[in-house]
Structure formats: structure tokens, C-alpha cells
A = this chain, B = another copy of it.
Amino acid sequence: MKYSYISHLYCPKCETTYDHTKVNQLCECGAPLLVAYDLEELSKNLTKAELLVRTASLWRYHELLPVVDEANVVTLGEGMTPLLDMPSIGADMDIPNLFMKDEGIIPTGSFKARGAAVGVSKAKELGVKELAMPTNGNAGAAWGLYSARAGLKSTIVMPVDAPKITRNEVAVSGANLHIINGLISDAGKVVGQAVKEYELFDASTLKEPYRIEGKKTMGLEIAEQMDWKMPDVILYPTGGGVGIIGIYKALTELKELGWVEGKLPRLVAVQAEGCAPIVKAWQEGKQESLFWENSSTIAFGINVPKAIGDFLVLDAIYKTEGCAIAIEDDAILQEQEKIASMEGAFVCPEGAATFVAARRLRKSGWIEDNQVVVALNTGMGIKYPETVSVDVPVIEKGDKI
């Protein structure tokens, strides 16, 4: 029995195929490459029941991941994050079957650990020694730390406004850290230059084909945790969009394997009002988005003015009859407090945005009575301490309360 059923890489735009045993970046046409598996063979060799006794990490799905030799797996125990029921806030927004997939309960405290675990493992397997990437914070933290575990060198470029804690994570990993007075798109240009000059592996979002496979496991887990019945709606905070592309790819592969049946969930891309290129493109029925000028939001992880995989995000929305919706920062902050005080979960602003989106889509009727809805929380609230203001007087020893 093979550890991985990877067969090759392919371009979703021009359909060129590539050899997965070689180092690859983008397709020659400029589009991101995707990983193909021999699903027919796998369907004959693995049953859902066999998964049950496996380790509670994303590596339980190793046949559907690109790492060929288990010895190359670089892991900090990531994956199989909780799928929590949200009865109180669900009742509050009239969605009795509301669930949250909590991606805060993972190494480095954000879903970026999934992409880093699989991306770094595959880079190691392919002989990469040094990689570089721009980041809004969490991805850099994850790739810096997983690179350290793998023994790879990393260069990380981060906007000066990215969450300070993620800066600390990159620094403590021993990565080569640079801070830039600009956005992630500016950081990307610096990385592009460095990649050329020093012949580094470019680990920028979707410029390497494997992080998406790591993020795909969110979709695999949701399906398994729901006993292979798919929800009606999945809401995802969308910046670079790899999470939503990954979930779509996962559910499509599970259908092909015959492990799930019926219609795919309607996928909802949730963006911030101050940076909503996908929402705009979707509203206009476009296949690609335009660069969003002067983007700004407290939900820093989704401050991505133009995603290289935008066409894949939009395709996933169209194919599943989903939608895209933009949320204002103050609504996000209100919802964040509500989720904590009603459900005990301190989610990140990006995660809170998906709950606001669910609330509005229910109100408008787009989410129907008693539908099963999964909101993705992509990271821990504690990584963004400035979103909570605490104003409590200090008492002295012996004071009474």
C-alpha cells in the first residue's frame, strides 16, 4: 500500500501537466499548479472505516496528500481541529444547526499550519534547502517554525502592520525576517526579487503547489467529523483564498472517491468591506478579480488586494452556487465579543466575519430554515490582542470587590 496516491501536477488554466517528483512553482502560463491523485486506485485500497483508528492529525489522510515517503513528514501535530456546535449563537441568529470548525486549536494558532506542514514536508522531500515568502503574519509564523523543524532556511517578509505576535513567532524560529513599510503585495515584490537573486524556493501563496493540499484537509475533516454527510453551507474568510479552494478540492475528491454523496455545500467567501476584490468580482459575474486599491481592515489575514488564485475561488463559488459577502470591521468586532461571551470561543477577527456573514445570509433567506452551516474560524483571538479593549480599575491588596 502506497503512502501517497499523488500522480502528477496540472494547470487548471491551460491543462499542461508537470512531474511531481521535480521542484515546480507556477505553470509556464502563470497560473498556480494543482495536485492530481490516482483516486480510482485509492478507492479500491482504502475505506472510510480504516481512517477511524488513525492518528488525530491531518496526516491521517496521507493517501490524499503529496508526500511520498513518510520519513519526510514534518509535523507538530496539526489537524483534526474541533468541529464545535454553536447552540447559543446559532439560536441568536436562527441557525439551529450552526457549527464552527476551530482552526485556532492547531500549532501556531492558525490554519496556516496546515499549509506549512504539507508544503514544508514536500519541499524537504524535493530537496529544497531554502525558501522565501511574503506574509500577513500567520503564514510566515507557520512556515518559519515548520521550516525550523525541517532544518530548512527561510526568508520571511512581513508588512509593518502585521500582528506583532506573528513577528515574534518568525523571529523565534530563527528565520531571516524582514519588515516592510507596505502591504503583502509590496512584500511579495521584495520576495520575488530575492528569489531570483539568491535562487530561493518561492513559497508565496499558490506559487508552490502543495500548501493547498494541506489546507484541503479542513474539508476532509469536516466531512469525516460530520460522518460523511456534507453541510449545506460552508463560510470561509477569504484573503488569498487557498482555504476555500482547498475545501472545494477536498469535497470534489471525496465525491470522486465515493465517500460523500449529493450536492456540494454552497461555499461562501467572506471578505472585509475594506478589501473585497472577490466580492466585487462575484457581484459582477467576473472570472477574475481586480487589484483593490488602499485596502484596509482589522482582519489582517484577509487584507489581500489581489489573490493569484482568485479565479479558482470564484470558480468554487459559481460551481457550488455559493456567494461572496463583505463585512465591516465594527460588525466583526461586535460579533467577536458575542461569540466569546455566548460560546466561550475567542476567535480571530477573520473567523468572526464568517459569523456576521451567516447572520446576514440567514436574515436575507439565502441560508434556509434548519440548514446545516459550518463557519470557519481560521485562528485564535489571542493572536490579535488589540481587538479587545480592557478597561478595569486596579484594586489594592486587602480591597473588597
Query: Which chain A residues have a beta carbon within 8 Å of chain B's beta carbons?
Result: 52-53, 56-57, 74-77, 80-84, 88, 102, 104-109, 145-151, 155, 157, 160, 164-165, 167-169, 171-174, 177-182, 186, 189-190, 193-194, 197, 336-337, 340-346, 380-383, 385, 388-390, 392-401
- What are 6 inter-chain pairs, A to B, with CB distance below 8 A? A76-B344, A168-B381, A172-B337, A172-B340, A190-B400, A380-B382
Min C-beta distance of A26 to chain B, whole Å: 21
Contact yes or no, A180 B105, CB < 8 A? no
Residue of A75, A177, A193, A392 with most partner-chain B CB within 10 A: A392
Contact yes or no, A107 B109, CB < 8 A? no
Complex Cα distance A390/B163, Å? 13
In the complex, chain B residues whose CB is within 8 Å of the CB of A343:
148-149
Min C-beta distance of A383 to chain B, whole Å: 6
Contact yes or no, B393 A146, CB < 8 A? no
Contact of A399 among B168, B190, B336, B396 (CB under 8 A): B190
Min C-beta distance of A112 to chain B, whole Å: 13
Contact yes or no, B396 A180, CB < 8 A? yes
Contact yes or no, A173 B346, CB < 8 A? yes
Contact yes or no, B189 A392, CB < 8 A? no
Please give me the residue from chain B that is nearest to A86 by CB atom.
Answer: B149
Complex Cα distance A71/B401, Å? 34
Contact yes or no, B160 A394, CB < 8 A? yes
Min C-beta distance of A63 to chain B, whole Å: 19
Contact yes or no, A344 B145, CB < 8 A? yes
In the complex, chain B residues whose CB is within 8 Å of the CB of A197:
400
Interface of A (DSSP majority class): mixed
Closest 5 CB pairs of A and B: A77-B82, A149-B344, A174-B341, A56-B56, A172-B340
In the complex, chain B residues whose CB is within 8 Å of the CB of A194:
400-401
Contact yes or no, B385 A165, CB < 8 A? yes
Complex Cα distance A399/B160, Å? 14
Contact yes or no, A388 B190, CB < 8 A? no
In the complex, chain B residues whose CB is within 8 Å of the CB of A177:
390, 392
Please give me the residue from chain B that is nearest to A225 by CB atom.
Answer: B55
Min C-beta distance of A74 to chain B, whole Å: 8
Complex Cα distance A52/B392, Å? 46
Contact yes or no, A181 B394, CB < 8 A? yes
Contact yes or no, B401 A168, CB < 8 A? no
Contact yes or no, B397 A180, CB < 8 A? yes
Complex Cα distance A104/B160, Å? 27
Complex Cα distance A88/B381, Å? 31
Contact yes or no, A345 B186, CB < 8 A? no
Contact yes or no, B81 A395, CB < 8 A? no
| Contact A346 to B53, CB < 8 A, known contacts A197-B400, A401-B194 | no
